[in-house]
Structure 1
């Protein structure tokens, strides 16, 4: 079985932690980034030869570049880059502070963009590589009370879809992973909520409060199974552009996209009405 070296951001919890654990158990090497090494003390102790834990705040662009350069210099070859670090921010658009808006963009969008940009010269030089970008079915479907999270996920999807076409010639594949709800700290621990306004009480923008309350029923997604599918995707050629994880997520995505296409198809005459007449 082929052994690979992985660079994964945000391995202290959620998908990053589960992926790292599964990879180390099968003998792969993982360079994992965290903001607090205490959360992965067990991995550091149990896998001293194959787990390299690095401190990184993905909002620090110079630190991202240094980490990527140093990791390739030390490892020689890195087979897979997993851009996983991120979080959810909930609240109506006007309930969010400027600082909250800036921080989620820096974490969920600018950080992943700069991670990928930093890795591309190294992957191109080695003539191969795979990039897995954690997105969400929220990169295709939008819900009220989630505007900035959707902004970052819709944004990173457009970035990756474009870059995938640029680097395919260098044997570099990119996959966007679009998980549905899963039983991770993302929903039941790390989710951030804006300072809620009474004007939005009873508004769909506050529907997320029920979702974040585990007593209303847990998310259907199994993080271990989802992580396994992400790992397995690296063996698929060519790299799948998108991979939806969770039957509920797929059903909602398909329904949304069908409605979107139907709406576009109704605009045929409108779209044509803005062209110059033929021959002009």
Structure 2
């Protein structure tokens, strides 16, 4: 079944893999990028099947204009993929206010506003699918990733609640939680904080060391992951989450199990704060 997709950040990473696979099978793509020239090769090859617009996710009015334009010109969009984003790494204290604001504005607020801009269109056309790129870091945490985790835990909460709000409109929502994949995320698009010497003794410094070293190759095959994301649209109902990569599965299972075990130890304490029955 041929579909029309709206995807943010189609010039690299999962967005690029999805776009290439979808165009190869005959689907239409409305894609956003910050640099239109980065898509010149695919545009020349696929012509009108690839609709492009320049977009910076920190610009909310622009998000609304681009989403409205895409739905207007293509008339119907089956799937909205909120993919664009990046990682900011380092200890929380080492980051500037500007770095923190840009990370949250891009990954969290930009994703929220992209989905919000699409919802009226999806409702009016009778439904559709929303795929939100998250990460294993949306369920598990690592030192040196506090602000990146903040953005991804935030978008997971938003999509989880949104899925319950919009199911009545035949809109399905899926969170994708990949582990490390061989894209440009880790060694090209990732941004690092400055360094405070005191944090050389902190586990937070491991993020700097890994990215600066540049030789630790992730285990995940991004093309395989993109294919699973695409195929998930055929599933009914929409899967709420997709864990992709053995590292994602192992890390999330361990940390979720630890959190549940810690919660169970607090059951008696939690219940002790209720009013007695009948009061």
TM-score normalised by the chain length of structure 2: 0.98
Asked if 1:263 is matched to 2:262, the reply is yes
Q: Aligned runs of 1:209-248 on 2, under 5 Å?
A: 209-213=208-212, 216-248=215-247
Q: Aligned runs of 1:134-145 on 2, under 5 Å?
A: 134-145=133-144
Aligned to 1:34: 33
Aligned to 1:96: 95
Kindly indicate whether the alpha-carbon contact (under 8 Å) linking 2:187 and 2:214 is maintained by their aligned counterparts in 1: no
Q: Structure 2 unaligned runs (5+)?
A: none
Give CA-to-partner distance per residue, 1:93-117, whole Å, 9 cap, x none: 0000000010010000001101111
* Distance in 1 of aligned mates of 2:194 and 2:216: 25
Q: Cα distance, 1:192 vs. partner?
A: 0.1
Aligned to 2:62: 63
Q: Structure 1 unaligned runs (5+)?
A: none
**Partner SS state of residue 274, structure 2:** coil
* Distance in 2 of aligned mates of 1:216 and 1:47: 35
**Partner SS state of residue 48, structure 1:** helix
Q: Cα distance, 1:38 vs. partner?
A: 1.7
Give CA-to-partner distance per residue, 1:123-176, whole Å, 9 cap, x none: 011112000000001000011110010000000000000000011111100000
Aligned to 1:130: 129
Kindly indicate whether the alpha-carbon contact (under 8 Å) linking 2:90 and 2:208 is maintained by their aligned counterparts in 1: no
**Partner SS state of residue 32, structure 1:** strand
* Distance in 1 of aligned mates of 2:141 and 2:49: 39
Asked if 1:81 is matched to 2:91, the reply is no
* Distance in 1 of aligned mates of 2:175 and 2:210: 24
* Distance in 2 of aligned mates of 1:100 and 1:171: 38
* Distance in 2 of aligned mates of 1:212 and 1:134: 21
Kindly indicate whether the alpha-carbon contact (under 8 Å) linking 1:78 and 1:129 is maintained by their aligned counterparts in 2: yes
TM-score normalised by the chain length of structure 1: 0.98
* Distance in 2 of aligned mates of 1:101 and 1:216: 27
Asked if 1:112 is matched to 2:120, the reply is no
Give CA-to-partner distance per residue, 1:208-252, whole Å, 9 cap, x none: 134325654300011111110100000011000010100111011
Aligned to 1:178: 177
Aligned to 2:195: 196
* Distance in 1 of aligned mates of 2:100 and 2:213: 26
Kindly indicate whether the alpha-carbon contact (under 8 Å) linking 2:103 and 2:147 is maintained by their aligned counterparts in 1: yes
Aligned to 2:154: 155
* Distance in 2 of aligned mates of 1:55 and 1:215: 30
* Distance in 2 of aligned mates of 1:195 and 1:214: 16
Q: Which moved more, 1:25-34 or 1:206-215?
A: 206-215
Kindly indicate whether the alpha-carbon contact (under 8 Å) linking 1:65 and 1:115 is maintained by their aligned counterparts in 2: yes
* Distance in 1 of aligned mates of 2:214 and 2:168: 49
* Distance in 2 of aligned mates of 1:19 and 1:102: 29
